[in-house]
Structure 1
Amino acid sequence: MKTHRRNQLLLIVVLIVGAGATLALVMQALTENINLFYSPAQVVAGEAPTNQRIRAGGMVVVGSIQRAVDSLQVSFLVGDLQSAQFPVLYDGILPDLFREGQGVIAGGSLDESGVLIADEILAKHDENYMPPEVAQIMASQQEKTPP
Structure 2
Amino acid sequence: MAGLKGLKKKRRVQVLMVAAVALLLSAGLIGYGFRDGINFFRSPSQVMESPPAPNEVFRIGGLVEEGSIVRGEGETIRFSVTDGGATVPVAFTGILPDLFAEGQGMVGTGSYDGQVFVATEILAKHDETYMPKEVVDALKEQGVYVEPEPES
Cα RMSD of the aligned pairs, angstroms, is 2.7
Offset at residue 123 of structure 1 (A): 0.6
Name the TM-score, length of structure 1 as normaliser. Answer: 0.78
Distance 2:83 2:28 in 1: 39
1:96 counterpart letter in structure 2: D
Paired letter, 2:57: R
Change (3 A) 1:13 1:119: same
Partner of 2:101: 99
Runs of 4+ in structure 1 displaced over 6 angstroms? 8-14
Deviations 1:54-111 (A, max 9, x none): 001111111111113532x1111111223x1111111110000000111111111111
Q: How many residues align?
A: 139
- Which residue, 52, 58, 64 being the options, matches 1:54? 58
What is the aligned counterpart of 2:90 among 69, 88, 91?
Answer: 88
Give the aligned residue type for 2:47: V
Match of 2:40 among 32, 36, 41: 36
**Who wins on radius of gyration, i.e. which is larger?**
2
Unaligned 5+ segments in structure 2 are 1-6, 145-152
What TM-score results when the alignment is normalised by the length of structure 2?
Answer: 0.76
Distance in 2 between residues matched to 1:87 and 1:109, nearest whole Å? 12
Query: CA offsets per residue over residues 6-32 of structure 1, 9 Å max, x none?
Result: xx6998776665444322211212332
Structure 1 residue runs without a partner (length 5+): none
5 Å matches for 1:58-137? 58-71=62-75, 73-82=76-85, 84-111=86-113, 113-137=114-138
Instruction: Label 1:94 to 1:12 Cα distance change in 2 as closer, same or farther (>3 A).
Output: same
Q: Is the Cα contact below 8 Å between 2:99 and 2:126 reproduced in 1?
A: yes
**Amino acid across the alignment from 1:77:** S
